[in-house]
Structure formats: C-alpha cells, structure tokens
Amino acid sequence: MQKIILVGKPNVGKSSLFNRLAKQRIAITSDTAGTTRDTNKAVVEIYGKSCIIVDSGGLDDSSELFKNVKKKTLNEAKNSDAIIYMVDGKLMPDDEDKALFYELSGLNLPIALVINKVDSKKDEARSWEFISFGAKDVFNISVSHNVGIDELNEWIEKQLKDEIKADLSDDFDDFLDEYDDNGEISVENFKDKNIKVGIIGRVNVGKSSLLNALVKDSRAVVSDIAGTTIDPVNEIYEQGGRIYEFVDTAGIRRRGKIEGIEKYALNRTEKILEQADIALLVLDASEPLSELDERIAGVASKFELGIIIVLNKWDKSQIEFDTLCKDIKDRFKFLAYAPIISISALGGKRVHKLYDLINEIYENFTQKLQTSKLNEVITEATKTHPLPHDKGKSVKIYYAVQFGYAPPKIALIMNRPKALHFSYKRYLANKLRASFKLSGVPIIFIPKKRGEVSDEEQ
C-alpha cells in the first residue's frame, strides 16, 4: 500500500492534519513543540483509494533526542511514495525550512508544500513569500478551520495508484473487533485475526528497545531521557505466517510526576489496553521492583488481557531468576497466571522466544473449553471443597457453560449466585488451570441464577 508522509518542523500542525485526514483523533496534539517524537500511521481512504498516512516527528536539531527524531523522519520519508511538507503560515519562511524542502525534493518523489494556519487575508498575503521554495504544488490550508483540505485530498488522490480498497482492520489503531448480536465475539473470528499486543511499563524500562527488537527495525526512538515516547508507537509485523500488531505505549510515571502532555499519553495507554489481546508488562531487571510496577500490573489486570511479564535488561541484573520470580509472584498475586521471561532488548537476547509465548497465550486466550470436561472439573472441585453456606442455606453450582472468549468467560449456573465469594472463584480458576491450557490468561466467572441464561450461553 502506498505511503504518504507528513514532514515539517515542530508545531506546524502535522498531527492535527494527520487526525483530520484519518477522521479520528489518533495523534496527541498540543502547543508544546516536539509532542510527536515517533511516527504514527493510519490507513485512510481518499476518494475511494486507500493509502497509509504517516505523521512524523518534527525536524529539529535542538537536542540529541530531537536530532534522533529528525534522522528517523528523514529515513521514513525516503521510504515513502509522496511527501507533504508543512510550514507555519503565521511565520515568514526561513532558510532552514527551505534547505529541508530542497533536500526532500532531491528524493525525486511527489512533494507538496502545505502552508498551514492560513486563517486570514493577512496570512494569505504572507503565504506568497513561500514562492521562493520553488514548489510546483502549493496549498494554503487551515486545519483548525477545515479550509483547503479538499484540495489537498485531491492532490493525494492523484498520487495514488488504482488498487483494491484496503481492509481497514490492517490499521493498528483500528482496534474494533467483530461482535455477534449477543455482544460476544465467536471463537471462529479469532482463527485468522491479527494478534494485538500492547507494550507497557514505567518510564525507561526499555519498551521502545523491545519494540525495535521484536520488529527487527529501529521503529521507536530510543533515548536515556525518561518519557521519550509520548504517542503510542504502532507497528504491524509478520512472523511465521501470523500478523502481529504491536503498540509501544508511553511510559507511566507516579501520578504526582505526570506533567503536561504526558497526561494525554496515560489516557491513550489505557485506551490501547482496552483494545489489546495481550500485554507485555516490561520490568527493569536491573532495579528493585517498585510500587509503581505493582500499580501498572494492576492496570493491566483490570483490562482482562493475556499477560506476559518481561524482565528486560537481564544482562545487568544481579538477582537470581528464581528469586526475582518469587518476588514478583508474591507482590503480583493477581497476576499469578502470567508467565515470566528474561530478555535483553538492546542486545536482542531471547526476544525471539516472546513470539512463541505470545502465540501460546493467544491460543489459550481464545480457546473453547470442552463443556463436558469443564463441568467435570467444576463438579469435582465442589465435591472436594463444597461452597460455604449463605445465611445457613446451601449454595450449589448446577452447571457451567463457556459463553465468551478473549479471555474465557464462564457462566456458573447457581441457586444463590450472589453468595459466590471471590476467593472461591480463585479456587475454581486454579482447578481449571490444572486441567486446561490457560497459562497467561485470566478466567472470568459470571454467577447466574437458573433461568437467567440466554440461548447463546447454553
């Protein structure tokens, strides 16, 4: 699929135009220069033709971090099919913008000069100063007022070859699943579905390095500066005939340390987790576990995902693996089902083993449990440890039925469903894990009274 990249210096409105073209708010926008540090991608349709629009980081040499961002942006531009170079129409053209435009023009790709923030007659008169760029295709627009976007769309459409309309499910940011009329996705829909993986953890634990190692490319900007990743960085990658959709989310800080645009990043991280299948919870093995690590683990468990605990920077760890695993199990009791793997993302050590784990957990996450065996396990469990009485009356589970997937959702048909204690649910979950392959995934029990079960759940 053809790729159109938005390029320009910081704070010219690239992310706002990206959101406008994508018809949804994907990139974080703010008045803070340098908000976008990694590239964002979205599949969009322009007058019946599909393409990938890329929102790039601003071209800026003010620090080592932003020099790295600039380098990645220019490399991404070289691998694109057309370039939209954006400038700020509120300012006079400068030599740096002109030099960058000339450099990109030398790639012999279609390139348009887009002058943003042209909101008045005065701005329009100033835009004539940009004639010195020598651009063939020039557009005056105002993203905030939706002016000039149609003309720009016409230019983009002309650069695109006729092709079959894209399947928008390829867009990483489209996390919408296909549900049946009952609101639950059928297990058949999971067979060829892309696996959506969110990479989470506190700042500077190596999430971006892990994404780069997983896709074998310098996809995310890596820096020693904590909080480098602001926008979620997405990447679609094929391995062994399977499609994986990875998102490197912004690092989470202690609540009192969240500043400025990072509060938007935190909200976006939670949105990603809502729509993912599996979370890679990245911990820094070279440092002691922190209260913040526990909080982040709790956030991941809240969204009922498949979870893998990834001990990164293992080459710098001074702790025995078994000792650290015991500490994690003690502190993250609610994630007792999650497997733990040690890696070194920067060196690429053992990263390939994550794919095997992801595949295994996805199978567990989406499996249909055999009904007869499910009830056999539940019956045996209740015989071994009967349910506690409720106000002197016996509590019974008549039968169990799986009614949902991702993760497995099981209705327990009972005489007194409100009497089922969470500790007994945990006991039943442990019994099921001993009989089925359920490593890495939560099990959701829904107690219901007889007669409350729909036809779909029987």
pLDDT digit string (tens) for 113-126?
A: 999 999 999 999 99
Instruction: Tell me: is residue 227 an annotated ligand-binding position.
Output: no
| Distance of alpha carbon 128 from alpha carbon 144, whole angstroms | 21
pLDDT digit string (tens) for 31-51?
A: 444 444 456 788 888 888 889
pLDDT digit string (tens) for 356-383?
A: 999 999 999 999 999 999 999 999 999 9
CATH of domain 371-457: 3.30.300.20
Q: Per-residue confidence at 58, pLDDT binned at 50, 70, 90?
A: confident
DSSP conformation class of 86 = E
Instruction: Tell me: is residue 206 an annotated ligand-binding position.
Output: yes
User: Where are the domain boundaries for CATH 3.40.50.300 in the chain?
Assistant: 3-170, 187-365
Instruction: Tell me: is residue 408 an annotated ligand-binding position.
Output: no
Average pLDDT, the chain: 82
DSSP conformation class of 122 = H
Predicted TM-score of the model (pTM) = 0.61
**Which pLDDT score, from 0 to 100, does residue 25 have?**
65
Instruction: Tell me: is residue 250 an annotated ligand-binding position.
Output: yes
User: Where are the domain boundaries for CATH 3.30.300.20 in the chain?
Assistant: 371-457
- Domain 3-170 CATH assignment equals 3.40.50.720: no
Please name the residues in contact with 181: beta carbons below 8 A apart, sequence gap of 6 or more.
none
Instruction: Tell me: is residue 451 an annotated ligand-binding position.
Output: no
Across 61-65, 182-186, 216-220, 435-439, which has the greatest mean pLDDT?
435-439
Instruction: Tell me: is residue 136 an annotated ligand-binding position.
Output: no
**Which pLDDT score, from 0 to 100, does residue 429 have?**
96
Instruction: Tell me: is residue 415 an annotated ligand-binding position.
Output: no
Instruction: Tell me: is residue 16 an annotated ligand-binding position.
Output: no
Instruction: Tell me: is residue 170 an annotated ligand-binding position.
Output: no
**Which pLDDT score, from 0 to 100, does residue 135 have?**
94
Instruction: Tell me: is residue 207 an annotated ligand-binding position.
Output: yes
pLDDT digit string (tens) for 232-281?
A: 577 888 888 889 989 887 655 555 444 444 455 556 677 778 889 999 99
DSSP, collapsed to helix, strand or coil, labels residue 144 as: coil
Instruction: Tell me: is residue 15 an annotated ligand-binding position.
Output: yes
**Which pLDDT score, from 0 to 100, does residue 171 have?**
35
**Which pLDDT score, from 0 to 100, does residue 237 have?**
87
CA 168 vs. chain centroid, Å, equals: 16
Instruction: Tell me: is residue 117 an annotated ligand-binding position.
Output: yes
DSSP, collapsed to helix, strand or coil, labels residue 392 as: coil
| Distance of alpha carbon 283 from alpha carbon 287, whole angstroms | 9
Instruction: Tell me: is residue 22 an annotated ligand-binding position.
Output: no
Return the ∠ at Cα 290 (arms to 339 and 423), rounded to 5°.
Answer: 55
Region 412-424: mean pLDDT is 94
Instruction: Tell me: is residue 118 an annotated ligand-binding position.
Output: yes
Residue 306 has pLDDT above 50, yes or no: yes
Instruction: Tell me: is residue 106 an annotated ligand-binding position.
Output: no
According to CATH, the superfamily of the domain at 187-365 is: P-loop containing nucleotide triphosphate hydrolases (3.40.50.300)
